[in-house]
Amino acid sequence: MLSTRLTRLWDISVPIIGAPMAGRAGGELAAAVSRAGGLGMFGVGGNTTAEWVTENARIAREGSVEHAGGGSAIAQKMLGNKAHKDGAGEGAAVDGAASGAEGSGANDATGQDLSQDIPEELGNFGIGVMLWSIKDKPDVWKAVLDARPKVISLGFGDPTGYVEQAQELGISVVAPVNDLTQVKAAVAAGVDVICIQGTDAGGHTGHIGTMPLMQMVLDYLMLNAPGIPTAVAGGIGSGRGVAAALAAGADAAWVGTALLASPESLGSAELREAAVAASSKSTLLTDIYDRAEQQAWDTKTWPTRTVANGFTDVYAEMSRRGEVTDQELIAARAEGGEFAEDIKLHAGQGVGMLHQEMQAGDVVRQMTEDVRDLLERKL
């Protein structure tokens, strides 16, 4: 076992977290990562429904049971942490959690009580939520809470209010951050874990490279919030990357691109093949997919790292210069449009380390073996 503050907090065997990639990480991928000893997560995006969350939570829960780690014990640990923060006794925290559970499992549209469908213990998986996407979708947020994951990631927006709702149920909350301003906001909101996401990461990300951001955030937390464990995301595609994060003082690695060629990932075989074929030089940051799909992202703060194709070759630079309209981008990607058939593959700079399709569990196990070998070496 590779023991860190985060493996102990989340009761997992290895410090490897499967990133909650909306559209690519579902319940099956989350379960595979958890079975291998890490913590698998699935993602909630702009088009996610409450029904999809419920179904994929079921798949993740049932698929990860062979490596389940004490959900009830973790809930009690988190509730104890919350009681300590609030200055309340343990009993008060548990009472609060019980009332929160009743509230989140109230009634469906027919008035039927659904609380009996809510699992009693936390499942050995996590769910990642894009906060802007649930702002007007209380049913999706309710489905996330009712799924009772071990961990909820709250990113890309203001987590105030959401953190407390999750923690009252004993769920651990992690916040992905891309700069020090976001770190300070996450700490102020009371999150349990910080995920340091550098611009090397695929999908929506920030503008600072993983290595400098990791050093800045770890230094800041050491001085201002030393009790908060950290994970590092962005460009970690092998055991060497995991070992580097741990050696720097982080508590886990957060990997996504490394799992894009795994058969458990969502999407077609064509997408997996494209991930294997892509090089690290082929990725770029752009806002054109969000504009074409009319997604309400703050693209100045969080552009998308994606693999270049004909669509990006023509429009990415034009968009940067303000020379293309939303309607032109929508038309280019619409059915029958010039770039309707171009493969959309959001991936990080570590995509060049993908050489073949590999089961997600094997990816985690190989990373774990390599980390152990590297950390046992003497400098």
Q: What is the dihedral of CA 151, 190, 180, 252, to 10 degrees?
A: -30
Q: What is the mean pLDDT of residues 88-105?
A: 35
181, 161 contact by CB (below 8 A): no
Can you give the pLDDT at residue 105? 42
217, 183 contact by CB (below 8 A): yes
158, 131 contact by CB (below 8 A): yes
Can you give the pLDDT at residue 2? 86
Within 10 Å of residue 101's Cβ, how many Cβ atoms?
18
Res. 109: pLDDT tops 50: no
34, 67 contact by CB (below 8 A): yes
Q: Considering the entire predicted model, what is its pTM?
A: 0.87
CATH superfamily of 5-78+122-267+356-376: Aldolase class I (3.20.20.70)
Q: What is the mean pLDDT of residues 157-179?
A: 96
Can you give the pLDDT at residue 102? 36
Q: What is the mean pLDDT of residues 35-60?
A: 96
Of residues 349, 151, 374, the one with CA closest to residue 258 = 349
Q: Where are the domains of the chain?
A: 5-78+122-267+356-376, 279-333
Instruction: Find where tokens 């038309």 sit.
Output: 331
- Radius of gyration for the alpha carbons in the chain, expressed in angstroms and rounded: 20
Burial category of 84 from C-beta neighbours within 10 Å (exposed 0-12, middle 13-18, buried 19 and up): exposed
Percent of the chain at pLDDT > 70 equals: 86
Within 10 Å of residue 215's Cβ, how many Cβ atoms?
13
Banded pLDDT at 72 (limits 50, 70, 90): low
pLDDT tens digits along 177-232: 999 999 999 999 999 999 999 999 999 999 999 999 999 999 999 999 999 999 99
Q: What is the mean pLDDT of residues 80-105?
A: 40
Is the C-alpha dihedral spanning 305, 24, 5, 88 positive or negative? Answer: positive
Res. 84: pLDDT tops 60: no
Within 10 Å of residue 336's Cβ, how many Cβ atoms?
7
- Supply the angle between the helices 239-248 and 360-376 in degrees, to the nearest 10: 50
- Supply the angle between the helices 27-35 and 50-63 in degrees, to the nearest 10: 20
Burial category of 331 from C-beta neighbours within 10 Å (exposed 0-12, middle 13-18, buried 19 and up): middle
Cβ neighbours of residue 170 under 8 Å, at least 6 residues apart?
74, 75, 76, 77, 78, 79, 97, 122
Res. 268: pLDDT tops 70: yes
